[in-house]
Amino acid sequence: MPIRPRALAGALALSLLASPHGHADRVQERAGELARKYLLVDTHIDVPYRIHKHWEDVTRATEKGEFDYPRAVAGGLNVPFMSIYTPASSESDGSAYALANTLIDHVEAMVARAPDKFAIATSPVEVEKQFKAGKISLALGMENGAPIAGDLDKLRHFHRRGVRYVTLAHGESNHISDSSYDDVRLWRGLSPFGAEVVSEMNELGIMVDISHLSDAAAFEVLERSSAPVIASHSSMRKFTPGFERNMDDKLLRALANKGGVVMINFGSSFVTAKANQYFENYSTARETYAKRHALAWGSEEMQAFEQRYRDKQPLPFATVSEVADHIDHVVNTAGIDHVGIGSDYDGVGDSLPIGLKDVSTYPNLVAELLRRDYSEGDIEKLLGANLMRVWRAVAARAE
C-alpha cells in the first residue's frame, strides 16, 4: 500500500512541470543532494569478513566487493556498521572469540591506513564530530553472539573494543538464543544466559539486535530489554510469506512500541517471494548434488555445478522499487520513525537488487522515495536519524 502523498516543495515540485526526462534527472540530482546532506547510516556491511577471506585495501577503489572508500563517498555513506561476523560453526569449534578479535583488528587497520578518510565511532557524539570533519565513521556491530562464549566478561571486552550492537544468534541456535533459520529450537526463545546477556547489554550501552532470531526469541528480547531494540538487517515477511528471518507485522509493531527500528535488508531473497523461493530451490539442488557425488563445499566440482545452475536458471533480482515497498510497509504499519537501512552489502553474494549493487547506489533508493512523495524530513529519518535516535537512547540508558 503506498503512503499518503505529500506535497513536494521548492524546486522539486516545479520540476514536475518539466519534461519527463528533465524531471527524472532532477529527482536523481535531488536524491544525491539529500544523500550527501544528511547522515547516512547502514547498520550491516560485511567488509571485515570479506577482507579476512580475500584481502583488498578498501581505503582505495577495489575490483571486488560492494564497499570501498570512493564508492562510499559517491553514495553519501557516513556511518557503515562493520559486521564482526562469526559463522555458526565457530561456536562449536571454539574459534569465535579469536576470529571476532581478528576482524576488529582489520577495521582498526583500515583506519590506521587512512586516518584522513576513516575513524572508529563508538558513540553518537563521535559520529557527529567525524561527520563534521568529513570522515566516514566505522561503527562495529557483532553478528552472532558466539564470541561471548558464555562469559559476560567477554561481552565487556568487546564493548571496550567498540562493539555497539550484537546480533544474538546467526544461522543456528546458539548458547544465547534460538535462530530463525534453525529447526532445532534449543530454548524456545532465549537461554537463561541469553537473558543475562540482554540485561548486561542494556547496562553497557550495546544495542540488542533481533535480526536472525526466532520470533519467540525476538519477542522475549523486547520483553526483557529496558532500552530500544534494533533489527539490523531484516525486511518484511509480508513480501516473503513463511520466511521467519524477515519480520512479521506483529513483531514490527512490538519493536516500534519499544522505540526500536528495523533496518531494511537489500538482498533479493529478503525482498521478493520469487527470489526467496529461487534460493530455497537452489539450496536444495546444491545439497542434493553434493551428497550424491560426495563433494565438499567450495570444491571446484561444486563451483562448476553452482555456475551451471545459475546459468540455466538465472536469479530473479529484486528492484529498487520492491525495496521501497518494504519501507512503505514499515511506514504504514509502524510509522516513519521506525525504519532505516541495513543493506547487508558484502554479505548476500551477488543477490543484490538491480540499481542497488553497491554503496554508491543509495541515491537510487532515495530517488524512488522522492517519486513516492516522501518528504525531506522523512528521508532524513530513514537515512540515519532513526538509528541515531535509538543509539542515543541506548547510550543514555547505560549512563
16 or 393, which is more confident: 393
- pLDDT tens string 314-362: 999 999 999 999 999 999 999 999 999 999 999 999 999 999 999 999 9
pLDDT at 15: 42
Could you tell me if 362 and 373 lie in one domain? yes
Q: What is the mean pLDDT of the chain?
A: 94
Structure confidence at residue 8 as a pLDDT band (50, 70, 90): very low
CA nearest to 110, candidates 118, 102, 122, 98: 118
CA nearest to 213, candidates 141, 272, 145: 145
| DSSP of 65-127 | SS--HHHHHHHT--EEEEEEE--THHHHTT-HHHHHHHHHHHHHHHHHH-TTTEEE--SHHHH
pLDDT at 192: 98
> Does residue 2 lie within any of the structural domains?
no
> Does residue 5 lie within any of the structural domains?
no
Rounded mean pLDDT of 17-41? 86
pLDDT at 22: 77
Could you tell me if 20 and 127 lie in one domain? yes
Could you tell me if 156 and 304 lie in one domain? no
- pLDDT tens string 166-215: 999 999 999 999 999 999 999 999 999 999 999 999 999 999 999 999 99
| Domain that residue 44 falls in | 10-272+319-398
**Which residue carries 525476538 as its cell?**
218
Could you tell me if 308 and 183 lie in one domain? no
Last residue of a domain, one of 315, 349, 383: 315
- pLDDT tens string 258-296: 999 999 999 999 999 999 999 999 999 999 999 999 999
Rounded mean pLDDT of 105-111? 98
